[in-house]
Amino acid sequence: LYTMTERKGRQQAICLKTTDGSEVWSADVGGPYIEKQKHGPGCRSTPTYEDGKLFCFLPRGELLCLSAADGKKLWETDTLKAV
């Protein structure tokens, strides 16, 4: 199971075992985020899995691709600057 969380002010992608909920790996993917309306800090989306890769879209427009096996970053782009 793959999801996002915030720990100690950092956004994390995490992998959990579906059998018992224990953590397999975590990857630091970004700094803290608080929107201007201050509705709360943290992640705004869940990652997408395809073909052994995990795609994480962060609140400031960063798009990351991680290895689903171990959470290592494969690539990253800023979608707001790419336009």
- Other CB atoms within 10 A of residue 29 CB: 22
pTM for this predicted structure: 0.83
Long-range contacts made by residues 9-13, C-beta under 8 angstroms, separation at least 24? 11/42, 11/43, 11/58, 13/47, 13/54, 13/56, 13/64, 13/66, 13/71
Query: pLDDT, tens digit, for every residue of 40-78?
Result: 666 678 899 999 999 999 877 889 999 999 999 999 999
